[in-house]
Amino acid sequence: MSFNYSADKNMLLNKTILITGASDGIGKVCAKTFANYGATVVLLGRDQNKLEQVYDEIEKLQPGKVIIHPLDFKTAAINDFQTLAASLNEQFNSLDGLIHNAALLGARSPIEFYPDQDWSDLMQVNVNAVFRLTQVLLPALGKSSDARIIFTSSSVGRVGRAFWGAYAVSKFAIEGLMQTLAEEVENTTGIRVNSLNPGGTRTNMRRDAYPAENPETQPSAESIMPVYLYLMSPEARTIHGQALNVRGFKAQA
């Protein structure tokens, strides 16, 4: 049974939420959904043309609720992340949400034969960039009275599975980053940190991972948005440091 959540249409009013991988898939749908509930959304992605298309879609329905910032995590250096943070500090008093959605899938190969460049690229995008972006944005998130960080996880980042290579290892790293950060900020800030495994979802990454699968057998990104909305809501303020799953998700007291 899917999780249902009825959110007030202005629940995210005056909130600023940054979403990585916002040009497609779950990231794109998160951006559109959060804007529909009042948030100003900052869209990060490597493809400027796709980001501009998402910008146009949101701007048409929610004028003034979206900005874009093209950034390729594979080539980004620390000064690129610092420039982004400085730009956000100039535009907003605080940052209320950070959704880490961008990731590479990489080769599906035994560790013994795993391509070296794929390994380096995966770790750069899926781990190093996530760490650096989080690090530079923590001061802005700390200014919010009720900020959220959601790290996108995977079932293969919680129980290892053969042939998932760098992708699985990178998601294990993300779980460790989430746990470490959650304990550090728990008693000193209003930031709440969790990881979320969306499960099989009808996205391009899922298609690439399972090319023989009928995409219609998987839920759409839109159908899992109630979980994301709930985790951004006041009701979820006590959820912290947890490895969550969309499948079987339940509201917590």
Report how far residue 102's alpha carbon sits from residue 133's, in angstroms, rounded to the nearest whole number. Answer: 12
> In percent, how much of the chain has pLDDT > 70?
91
37 is catalytic: no
pLDDT at residue 215, rounded to an integer: 58
From 194, 97, 182, select the one nearest 144 (Cα to Cα): 97
In three-state secondary structure terms, 166 is helix
pLDDT band at 2 (very low <50, low <70, confident <90, very high): confident
Q: Which residues pair with 194 in a beta bridge?
A: 150
Q: For the CA atoms of the chain, what is the radius of gyration?
A: 17
What confidence score (pLDDT) does residue 242 get? 97
Write down the catalytic residue from 37, 55, 167, 228: 167
Task: For residue range 22-36, list pLDDT tens digits in order.
Answer: 998 999 999 999 999
| Structural contact between residues 221 and 26, judged by C-beta atoms closer than 8 angstroms | yes
Q: Please tell me the pTM assigned to this model.
A: 0.93
In the chain, the domains with their CATH numbers are: 16-245 (3.40.50.720)
